[in-house]
Structure 1
Amino acid sequence: MRLSHQQILGILVGLLLVVGIQVAFYWVDFSSKFTPVSTDMLQREMDSLRTLAGLPKKDTIFPFNPNFISDYKGFKLGLTPAEIDRLQAFRAQNRYVNSAEEFQQVTGVADSVLRRIAPFFKFPDWVKNRHFWADEAKNTPKHFPKQDINTATAEELMKIYGIGEGFSHRILKYREKLGGFTYINQVAEVYGLEKEVYERVAERFEVQTVPLIEKKDLNAINRYELSKIPYVKYGESNKIVGLRSELGAIHSFEELLQIEGFDKERIGRLQLYLYIQ
């Protein structure tokens, strides 16, 4: 078959186009010349838009106690749900973190997150001064004159490592409720006070002034007055009066063991305030 002049010309043009395209791909760099925009540049743009809208340039973190981080607060700070759960489980044991290092040990938070939020941690004053009190304890002789726990002030109690303003006032309030401490180990009954902290109190304080407590007759005291006696919990005055009515009179404190919740230790404490004729 003979090709016409136009067909031959078309074939030649097609070959030239194929060769030209191959040469172009070989010599010309068609790779992307796009340069990524830096994070700083994006942040500057966002800050500019925030300024125009009358908003702060970035989220502000105010000082806070990390022991009381809520789910929402933790999310805003960048903590994972698992890290928040670990902190809340730790707090459910009535325990507290007292440093950034301890916060990381409990939560397992990443170093980068800790570096960002730790400068805003705010702990109670006694925590900030813990190293001072620890050094003082090391330099304090083992034997020193003890103070009277029944005349101690809040300021004197706060010198004990582990006792801040809250616990000092809680101890004084409990002392007032008891009418004064008869035994130093009654301080250990203060709600929330850890054993180690009580032991430090017992090293510095003792009962030097025994309180004058006016005892009341267990068989004559009325239901209302009985409810005001220390170591009688809510509702137990009714049970004591009921037992008294059932027996005709209570002849010995050991008979209170018939009431659920009473043991020899509590009964011994009650005898500081009650007597039986």
Structure 2
Amino acid sequence: MKLSRPYYLCKSDRVVVLFLLAVLAFGVIGYHLLWPSADTTPIAAADSTRSKRRAVGTDSRRAYTYATPSRQVVYAPFDPNTADSTQLLSLGLQPYQVRNIYHYRAKGGVFRRPSDFARLYGLTAKQYRELEPYIRISADYLPASEVYAVHDERPKASSDSLRYPVKLRNSERIALNLADTTLLRRVPGIGAYYARRIVAYRQRLGGYAHARQLLEIDDFPEEALPFFTVDAGDIQRLDVNRLSLSQLKRHPYINYLQARAICDYRRLKGPLASLDQLRLLSAFTAADIERLRPYVRF
């Protein structure tokens, strides 16, 4: 027999189904009213608040650590054994470098010579070159052998003057092509490092034609230039018609291609009578020729 209503429920069954649905609905509503979701509980809210505070605190500390304001660098004599943080920061040192100095001193470390400061953890070679002329080590921290003679307990009167030469006054000048490293260290801003570099570059050039050539030395302090005088007569000139290719290219102002161009010109056209004869060669620019002019002879 075919049923006309395949899903027909009798009245009693319909009552039972409706009752179960009502119970289920009330159960779901009651559960949400009596047990709120975990992310809205007071404990979760407190945890969320604390997390936000920690995040804000971390951000603020990070901003404080790295967003350091720019400072004006003021170079002045200082003793790394006694200088405070304010003075060290004014010299251009970073906060972490100042902390390293404090940690070193707290552990009993002593800077006995200016060169000891170069071993400071985190200090760059450029910073040391700039600060070295201003380092002053108190006699209290010097080795006893340097303060007192072996057979005489009296202090050596000339020890400090030899270690830290008296700087030139603003009206004083020195001959750049004749001064040795001891005299060069008397120039304000020039320490042992720059004094050695000045002499070494002077030997390579054959002498300085003008003081601004010192700026060709890496990071040379420009404020030291007014203390020098230059006599171009002290320059040792190159005989460009006699020197070999290897000898020519040793000069800072002549590279390999230029030295070869000079040798080729001599071989093809004879001795040079003037640097202007090199203007047609691609290896030389007008600036190259003018820079080289004080250093050649024919």
TM-score normalised by length of structure 1 = 0.47
Structure with more contact order per residue of length (Cα contacts < 8 Å, sep ≥ 6): 1
TM-score normalised by length of structure 2 = 0.44
Rg bigger for which structure?
A: 2
